[in-house]
Amino acid sequence: MNKTFKEIMSYVAIVIGALLAAFSVACILLPNDAIDYGTAGVAIIISKMTGFALSPCVFLVFLPFLILSVFVLGVKFSIKAMVGSLVYTVGLDVFEEIPFQLNTEHFLAVAFGGAVLGLGLSLILRYGGCIDGSEIFANIVIKKLSDKTGKNFSMSGILIAFNACVYLAAFFLINRNAALLSLLVYFVATTVIDHFTDHFEAIKQVTIITKEPDKLIEAIKKDLNKTCTIMDSYGAIAGENKTLICYVNYFELQKMREIIAENKGTFSTVSTIDEILR
């Protein structure tokens, strides 16, 4: 019952986060000549250039990444991503019809909009969802690189490169003010996201202390295609244990939590790793 309640609350948080993001984009950013980043930014540029409605553009640009996520990231993640994206696109359509105006300076309005957007995206990411295809794209690339090389990589470089292309497109296809204001949105939003998710684009080190490591190791290999470092450890009360250390990205961390929850009698910590030296 507790697990079901947590799952329901995760969807509630994703819906709230998607509505906050939609409100920010439709009522604050677009009226102040700024755009969202990632695939939503691509969709906004397409909408402005073609005159097509914004919400269908956002969903259609996101759709290929959503389909890819089903095969690479799993059905459960993809369902949450689909729910978040549908609420986000419907929210855009609704909020565009609501008269709303911030009676403040242009710069402050965009900064506030970026903060609201960051808060909404933080809720979505923290509860295992996603409404931006660039994050799915980066996660898929990292997963493929990790599977091929056996090394762990951060998503930061891929996300920065993707959004740099979006802002360059905005600079040349819309105007330079839109590009610069959108860069401010990106900076504010990602700062808020980093605060609430502890650098979601970075590598995560999961340390698990357990007396029965075999089931955990098997599940991690099967569900995440990851290996573990195994060390002998000793607790003052529990006695002899095994300590497992595994490196995952933020989206894989949600699955890791599920694996740990299914194996009772463990003690686990998660740390953010900025760099792995080899």
| C-alpha–C-alpha distance, residues 235 and 165, integer Å | 51
Radius of gyration (C-alpha) of the chain in whole angstroms? 20
Q: What are the beta bridge partners of residue 232?
A: 242
Q: What is the layout of strands, in order, in the sheet containing 229-235?
A: 229-235, 239-248, 203-210, 267-273
Evaluate whether 27 touches 37 at the Cβ level (below 8 Å): no
Question: pTM of the prediction?
Answer: 0.85
Nearest CA to 25 out of 136, 105, 118 is that of 118
Mean pLDDT over residues 20-24, rounded?
A: 95
What are the angstrom distances between the C-alpha of 130 and each of 62, 114, 141, 213, 253? Answer: 10, 17, 16, 31, 14
203-273: CATH number: 3.30.70.120
Mean pLDDT over residues 120-130, rounded?
A: 90
| C-alpha–C-alpha distance, residues 169 and 41, integer Å | 10
Domain parsing of the chain, residue ranges: 2-197, 203-273
Flag whether pLDDT at 12 surpasses 80. yes
Angle subtended by helix axes 156-173 and 38-50, to nearest 10 = 20
| Greatest C-alpha distance within the chain | 67
Q: For residue 118, what pLDDT band results from cuts at 50, 70 and 90?
A: very high
Flag whether pLDDT at 1 surpasses 60. no
Q: For residue 245, what pLDDT band results from cuts at 50, 70 and 90?
A: very high
Q: In this predicted model, what pLDDT tens digit does every residue of 168-226 receive, in sequence order?
A: 999 998 888 888 888 899 999 999 998 888 888 888 999 999 988 899 999 999 888 88
Flag whether pLDDT at 277 surpasses 80. no
Nearest CA to 140 out of 51, 33, 249 is that of 249
Query: How many CB atoms within 10 Å of residue 63?
Result: 14
Specify the higher pLDDT residue, 28 or 2: 28
Mean pLDDT over residues 82-108, rounded?
A: 87
- What the block records as the tokens of 50 is 């073609």
Q: In this predicted model, what pLDDT tens digit does every residue of 26-46 receive, in sequence order?
A: 999 999 888 889 999 999 999
Evaluate whether 44 touches 141 at the Cβ level (below 8 Å): no
Q: For residue 64, what pLDDT band results from cuts at 50, 70 and 90?
A: very high
Helices first, then strands: H and E counts in the chain: 10, 4
| C-alpha–C-alpha distance, residues 63 and 164, integer Å | 21
Angle subtended by helix axes 250-261 and 75-95, to nearest 10 = 130
Task: Name the amino acid, one letter, at 136.
Answer: I
Q: For residue 270, what pLDDT band results from cuts at 50, 70 and 90?
A: very high
Scanning 24-132, the segments in alpha helix (DSSP H) are 38-50, 54-72, 75-95, 106-126
Flag whether pLDDT at 129 surpasses 70. yes
* Residue with the two structure tokens 């995206």: 121
What are the angstrom distances between the C-alpha of 26 and each of 93, 94, 96, 176? Answer: 8, 9, 5, 20
Q: In this predicted model, what pLDDT tens digit does every residue of 137-175 receive, in sequence order?
A: 988 888 888 878 777 778 888 888 999 999 999 999 888
- In percent, how much of the chain has pLDDT > 90? 44
